[in-house]
């Protein structure tokens, strides 16, 4: 089986280059949405099977059943298959040797050219099939945002998000039916659009993209690591309760060094300070926040929604270590709370980490410090890790009788271990 993923461009009638046209006309079957099939009808022969694109799970089953057959299948894609399109799914699902891709102009590129905006100056966000709250991770000052939308991320809903984010003066450009005779481009203010949800006169074609120019003071959502404690929902009032304080949180982020495709466990996540920061700044990092306390779980879920980290932050209700066996294997682990099980959690986390994996643990009480020290001794004896440790002690300015003074917070010991490949060291000897 050979799969040809063919981009159709932005046009009412597909205009394909010779390579794409040859692949399309030679295919035994052509799969696409009704609208996509309509754009290539003039290019197909009567003998070619035409299949309406099913859900991806069903499509995988159908194509897998054809894997051993000598056949050619064309799959139609909107615009450029590998620019926020279906091509990525094919790349992850099938053998590269079975795939051929044929690019075309995407709706994002077409929108840029209609408006005279340079593609590299824009942040691209797909909300197609994703929660609207995800836009909160990208609304920033002086950063235009172009969005692929669905029925939940209407221009009106996006305008309301802009206002809630402190950008009430934002401009939203809605580009409908790009490449069709009915193409339409409209400019709105966020305030103007936000007042429209109850008005039946203002509707948009489902085939549209939206460009947002955020304007206003902003400041509701963070634009750099180190979210103020007061921004979080906590179980003891703003910035208080079970949340890792900003200064310590920044040190933890630095020690973990989160990067794309990481899978991170945050054990004892509390109200979610560390988990939110990890997932907010790293869209391609999968963060699993483990917490069992009901009030803290509620705060954790509220912060997940507040900061829009609804795609890559996974709230896990339960007590470690019991729930850990059901989670994807991590390459990095942070232990911020242990419920009296720190010694076991350290051993278990270390056992599941791969070579190069990172374990960071915080300790405040003398008991937890001693357990961390015992684990350090075990690692030293085994010589299976790189080690780094620090004590973070912060005093914050406050007023007492009108005078500035500094209140010390409890010092926190942070320890980082990186797992070594002992077999490689032995072979070198």
Give the model confidence (pLDDT) of 22-58 as tens digits. 999 999 999 999 999 999 999 999 889 999 999 999 9
Q: Describe the strand order of the beta sheet including 72-77 as a list of residue ranges.
A: 49-52, 29-32, 72-77, 2-7, 99-102
The helix-helix angle for 246-256 and 273-280 (nearest 10°) equals 50
To the question of domain 229-428 being in CATH 3.40.50.150, the answer is: yes
* Helix runs in 142-267, H state only: 155-164, 190-194, 246-256
In whole angstroms, give the CA distance from residue 87 to residue 83: 8
The helix-helix angle for 294-306 and 273-280 (nearest 10°) equals 20
Architecture of the CATH domain 109-213: 2-Layer Sandwich (3.30)
Q: What pLDDT score does 235 carry?
A: 87
Higher pLDDT, 384 or 423: 384
CATH number for the region 2-105 comes to 3.40.1010.10
| Contacts of the segment 177-180: beta carbons below 8 A, 24+ positions apart | 177/205, 177/207, 177/208, 178/10, 178/107, 178/110, 178/111, 178/114, 178/207, 178/208, 178/209, 179/9, 179/10, 179/11, 179/12, 179/110, 180/11, 180/12, 180/207
The structural domains of the chain, with segments of one domain joined by +, span 2-105, 109-213, 229-428
Residue tagged 């549209």 (tokens)? 208
Q: pLDDT band for position 67 (50/70/90)?
A: confident
At 211-237, the pLDDT tens digits run 999 999 999 999 999 999 999 999 887
In whole angstroms, give the CA distance from residue 191 to residue 193: 6
Average pLDDT score, the chain: 93
* Helix runs in 50-186, H state only: 56-65, 87-93, 107-115, 155-164
Provide mean pLDDT across the span 96-122.
96
Q: What pLDDT score does 422 carry?
A: 78
At 337-375, the pLDDT tens digits run 988 899 999 999 999 999 999 999 999 999 999 999 999
Q: What pLDDT score does 200 carry?
A: 54
Q: What pLDDT score does 198 carry?
A: 52
Triad 140, 142, 144: Cα angle to 5°: 80
List strand residue ranges (DSSP E) for 233-282, in order. 263-267
Q: CB–CB of 27/5 below 8 Å?
A: no
Q: How many CB atoms lie within 10 A of CB 279?
A: 27
- DSSP-assigned letters across all residues of 298-338: HHHHHHHHHTT-TTTEEEEES-TTGGGGGSPPPSEEEES--
In whole angstroms, give the CA distance from residue 118 to residue 122: 7
The helix-helix angle for 342-352 and 366-382 (nearest 10°) equals 30
pTM of the prediction? 0.90
């Amino acid at each position: 089986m050979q799969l040809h993923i063919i981009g159709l461009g932005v046009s009412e009638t597909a205009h394909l280059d010779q390579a794409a046209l040859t692949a399309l006309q030679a295919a035994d079957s052509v799969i696409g949405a009704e609208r996509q099939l309509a754009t290539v009808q003039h290019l197909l022969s009567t003998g070619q099977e035409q299949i309406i694109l099913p859900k991806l799970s069903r499509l995988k089953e159908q194509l897998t059943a054809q894997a051993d057959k000598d056949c050619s299948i064309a799959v139609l894609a909107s615009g450029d298959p590998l620019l926020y399109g279906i091509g990525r799914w094919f790349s992850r699902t099938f053998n590269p040797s079975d795939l051929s891709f044929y690019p075309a102009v995407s709706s994002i590129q077409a929108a840029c050219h209609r408006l005279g905006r340079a593609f590299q100056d824009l942040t691209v966000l797909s909300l197609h099939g994703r929660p609207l709250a995800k836009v909160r991770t990208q609304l920033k000052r002086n950063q235009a945002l172009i969005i692929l939308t669905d029925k939940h991320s209407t221009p009106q809903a996006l305008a309301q998000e802009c206002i809630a984010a402190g950008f009430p003066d934002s401009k939203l450009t809605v580009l409908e039916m790009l490449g069709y005779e009915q193409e339409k481009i409209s400019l709105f203010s966020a305030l103007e659009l936000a007042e429209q949800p109850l008005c039946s006169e203002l509707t948009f074609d489902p085939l549209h993209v939206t460009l947002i120019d955020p304007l206003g003071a902003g400041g509701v959502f963070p634009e750099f690591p180190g979210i103020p404690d007061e921004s979080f929902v906590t179980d003891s009032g703003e910035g208080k309760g079970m949340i890792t304080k900003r200064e310590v949180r920044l040190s933890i982020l630095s020690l973990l060094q989160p990067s794309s495709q990481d899978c991170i466990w945050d054990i004892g996540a509390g109200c979610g300070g560390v988990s939110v920061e990890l997932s907010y700044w790293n869209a391609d990092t999968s963060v699993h926040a483990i917490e069992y306390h009901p009030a803290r779980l509620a705060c954790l879920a509220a912060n997940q929604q507040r900061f829009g980290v609804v795609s890559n932050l996974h709230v896990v209700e339960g007590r470690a270590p019991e729930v850990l066996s059901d989670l994807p294997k991590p390459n990095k682990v942070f232990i911020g709370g242990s419920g009296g099980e720190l010694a076991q959690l350290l051993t278990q986390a270390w056992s599941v980490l791969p070579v190069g994996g990172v374990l960071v643990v915080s300790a405040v009480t003398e008991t937890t410090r001693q357990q961390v020290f015992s684990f350090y001794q075990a690692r030293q004896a085994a010589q299976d890790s790189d080690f780094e440790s620090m004590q973070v002690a912060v005093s914050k300015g406050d007023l007492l009788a009108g005078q500035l003074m500094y209140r010390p917070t409890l010092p926190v010991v942070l320890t980082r271990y990186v797992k070594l490949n002992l077999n490689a060291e032995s072979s070198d000897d």
